Amino acid sequence: MKNTKQIIETARKLHIAVPGFNVPYPEMVQPVIAAIRDENSFALVELARVEWEKFGAISLETISGEYKRWSDDRSVRLHLDHVPVIDEDHKPVDYMGIVKRAIAAGYQSVMVDGSRLSLEENICATAEVAKLAHAAGLPCEAELGAVMGHEDGPMPPYEELLASGMGFTKVEEAVRFVLESGCDWLSVAIGNIHGAISEATRGQIKPQARLDIAHLSKLSLATSIPLVLHGGSGVKKDSIMNAVQNGIVKINVGTEIRQVYENGVQQGGVEMGQKMLYESTRTILRDFFEISGSADRIDALRD
């Protein structure tokens, strides 16, 4: 079986998007995997720390157990998303302990988020996790720049954020970061924002983000590794397609599918939520990302 790093590198060569679907409830795992398989696509199923701390994922082991029940090695891999060094409540996190648990539980790639640290501290924390992941044969994702939206409290007006380049990943810092940290994939800030997670805002529609493609292209050329777009829900399709042609490979989708599932549960229980989630995920793969059949294309090049 090819590892996740090889698959993501193949997708980069082919300019194929690889969605990372966040599953903050165990009941979301089966319909998401079924949708990916039935569209003959390749995608990641992923879990962030905030999703077992503030949603219903229970634990990273719980989601791993569900993944193993339904997994399809040709279509999906399990990714540990967003393990912060300092969390959205500004508290330190035992990030190394969480990554060790994830490796033991069978996660096939991991992410450490040191973006709230100084550049030097982020490099050190990422290098520590990358060394651990590489020893287990797994790729490590990191984040540089400020992809906003996870903090409680008001965010700056989106147009102000975009126009000012507030929090954007700096090219010169990205070059140093990739070289010194040893990360395999880099999450960048180019106008994208996370879905809100606070109790007051988690059900609200996200602002429709736009992406600075010129800045993205510079980051891609300078770093030469697969780049990641967090906060993919709500970004216009043409921006996503343009981003995939300019270095973005992995694209996180969380808010969009979570709200579909939660709305379905409210309307008719878990079974209704799963049905709506399955159909929504197939639509996202087929009509938004246009990657139906991508599993075949990735397999063909790897062979």
Q: How much of the chain exceeds pLDDT 90, in percent? A: 82
Q: What is the model's pLDDT at position 147? A: 66
- Among 45, 28, 49, smallest CA distance to 99 is for 49
Q: What is the pLDDT of residues 69-109, one digit of tens each?
A: 999 999 999 999 999 999 989 999 999 999 999 999 999 99
CA gap 212, 221 in Å, rounded: 15
């992995």: which residue's tokens? 250
- Among 99, 45, 109, 104, smallest CA distance to 72 is for 45
Q: What is the model's pLDDT at position 189? A: 93
Please state, as a whole number, how many other Cβ atoms lie within 10 Å of the Cβ of residue 269.
Answer: 10
Q: What is the model's pLDDT at position 193? A: 72
Q: What domains does the chain contain, in order, with CATH numbers?
A: 4-292 (3.20.20.70)
Q: What is the model's pLDDT at position 201? A: 44
pTM above 0.85, yes or no: yes
- Stretches in the chain below the pLDDT threshold 50: 149-153, 164, 197-201, 206
Q: What is the pLDDT of residues 147-195, one digit of tens each?
A: 654 444 455 655 556 554 567 999 999 999 999 999 999 999 998 775 5
